[in-house]
Amino acid sequence: MALTGLNEKMDEEAARERAITISVLKDIEGEVRSISHELSHAAYQKLNNFISSIQQLLKNSCLPSAINYNLIYNEELDWDALGADIKINLYRMVEECLQNSVKHGVSKNILVNFICENNHLKILIEDDGKGFARTETKKGIGTRNIASRIAKLSGTWRINSIPGKGTRVILKIPIP
């Protein structure tokens, strides 16, 4: 709709707004394409081995950038017993956090820790990257996606980041 209105204008401001709108649309298209491919892959595998999927995600995200990674989880828990909605949304949120660490964080090490306590699953995603000041952050599509997914799971989340010290994302969701 924005482009339709802008296409009727030919001034410099309209051209600038068109470029911004097209850029946003390209980002959305990339996100939709990524989600579509991942959902297709997840539907095929049905995330029957959730921990293996997270390990593969870490490997695929970190190794190309020579980032060390570590996954900590309770090996005695049946992670595949989690509901499909929890697993796919959790996977996507971890994926988003890893992408941010790799793309923006300039990290050397990433830790993902799954902790089950008091009928909640707490996921910590930490990196030792450059961090950021909270006032500098803008709410991009990735942040909005995490907020939307965590809300679907009736969970909470927060980001702690200190310039020069890295970033820590804490996801907390109730589990039956």
| DSSP character string of 100-134 | HIIIII--SEEEEEEEEETTEEEEEEEE-S----G
Please give the residue range of the domain that contains residue 89. Answer: 49-174
Per-residue model confidence (pLDDT) at position 3: 67
| Model pLDDT, residue 136 | 52
Asked whether residue 75 falls in the same domain as residue 157, the answer is: yes
Residue 44 confidence class, pLDDT cut points 50, 70, 90: very low
pTM as predicted: 0.72
Residue 168 DSSP one-character state: E
My answer on whether 41 and 70 are in the same domain is: no
- pLDDT band of residue 139 (cuts 50, 70, 90) is low
Give the count of domains, the chain: 2
Residues 114 and 67 in one domain: yes
Q: Is the same domain home to 40 and 127?
A: no
Measure the CA dihedral 160/161/167/169, to 10°.
20
Place 123 in a pLDDT band, splitting at 50, 70 and 90: very high
Asked whether residue 79 falls in the same domain as residue 116, the answer is yes
